[in-house]
Structure 1
Amino acid sequence: MSTSVSAGQTATGRRFTWRVVDIVVASVIGVACAVVFLVWNIAYELPSTLLSPLLPGLGGLVAGPWLIAGVIGGLVVRKPGAALYTELLAAVISALVGNQWGPLTIVSGLVQGLGAEIVLAIFLYRAFGPVVAALAGAAAGLACGINDIVNWYAGADAAFTAIYIASTTLSGAVIAGLGGWAIVRALAATGALSRFAAGRDVARRV
């Protein structure tokens, strides 16, 4: 029995231990998503301008692209800290290159990455399907919405707050969550993720 427990602990340790390739790929994901962030830092203004007049707070629907790094990182690397690391790295790069939100971008990356990380941890880093991806994205969106209300919309009325947070959560679930899951599947299908469980999962289904 003790041998069985020891073997189980060893297997769990290996599953949760970061390899060099995990660090490299997570970093590449973070940098690639930082490019997405930088583009969206400018491009979001048009859809936001169109959405906001329709209903106060609806502009939160544009948050999704800023949440995708954590979801993709978590789904690919599948190790504790991967979602947080990739989202935070992308946010740090965005802040260093320069944007209209300055250092608070890093705070956003931290809370958004934690949101996705918490969901993956709840599932013990064992489930990575579309439902879990959507939940991780939604949690990142919820964290994003609350953080934005505190830092940028302090004093907003209850209606705006509720609509804004609901919008960021929905955007996170659909764009970051399901969108991130679809991107990982597409990458895996090319063989680019063959050294990861995400790539092997797709290969087994083919």
Structure 2
Amino acid sequence: MDNTTNSRQWRTIDIVVAAVIAVAFGVIFWAWGLVWKASDPAFAAAPATQAILYGVWLVPAVLGGLIIRKPGAALFCEAVAATVSALLGAEWGGITIVQGLIQGLGAELAFAAFAYRSFRLPTALLAGALTGLSAALFDFFVWNSEYGMGYRLTYGALTVVSAAIVAGLGGWLLTRALANTGVLDRFPAGRERAAV
């Protein structure tokens, strides 16, 4: 485990960077909603498989947790990104905010399971998978309740896989790429780049 953080207290820079991640991804969420809608015809034969695109909506939860490394970072980044998306006019409206809170909790649980001390690839993959699971459960009962069990299980499984790969692995790779530029030097993720 990486014991790289001495304090659980948020610094001003933690808040600013978390907000930047969240707002940037809020805009991406809004745009990704348009991509999702435009891709409907491509998945018409097997609509549940569209869930392979889901992971993009879950990246800030993992990325925020990997960079900030404090309790609440994953939840904050995902919830604020969802709020920005809703304010920009996401087609799913205000329920997007509730959805973002639930999705952020999934990643938060993964980081909490390791007492916010492990930020390696396996932890990132777990955070991605758990945020995908929380997203799938929300959708299972809210958006997909009228569909059959086969559809919902396929959709849920693909959401978890997409989240593990896109949000988990992708968030981890993005953290490393950002660290290599030096922009994260005030964070443990940036100071570790020489050791990775």
CA distance in 2, matches of 1:13, 1:43: 38
Q: CA deviation at 1:12?
A: 10
1:27 corresponds in structure 2 to 19
CA distance in 1, matches of 2:44, 2:136: 15
CA distance in 2, matches of 1:143, 1:150: 11
CA distance in 2, matches of 1:204, 1:174: 24
CA distance in 2, matches of 1:125, 1:176: 18
CA distance in 1, matches of 2:95, 2:170: 25
Residue 40 (structure 1) aligned with residue 32 (structure 2):
yes
After TM superposition, the runs of 4+ consecutive aligned structure 1 residues lying more than 4 A away are 11-14
Whichever structure has more helix as a proportion of its residues is 1
Q: CA deviation at 1:73?
A: 0.4
CA distance in 2, matches of 1:50, 1:79: 40
The one-letter amino acid of 1:41's match is G
CA distance in 1, matches of 2:44, 2:58: 20
- Asked if 1 retains the 8 angstrom alpha-carbon contact of 2:61 and 2:74, the reply is yes
Query: Which structure: larger Rg?
Result: 1
Unmatched runs of 5 consecutive residues or more in structure 2: none
CA distance in 1, matches of 2:101, 2:110: 15
The structure 2 residue matched to 1:147, chosen from 126, 133, 138, is: 138
CA distance in 1, matches of 2:13, 2:165: 29
Asked which structure has the greater RCO (Cα within 8 Å, sep 6+), the reply is 2
1:7 corresponds in structure 2 to none
Normalising by structure 1, we get a TM-score of: 0.89
Summarize the Cα distance change of 1:189–1:17 in structure 2 as closer, same or farther, 3 Å threshold. same
- Asked if 1 retains the 8 angstrom alpha-carbon contact of 2:5 and 2:117, the reply is no
Aligned length: 194
- Asked if 1 retains the 8 angstrom alpha-carbon contact of 2:5 and 2:188, the reply is no
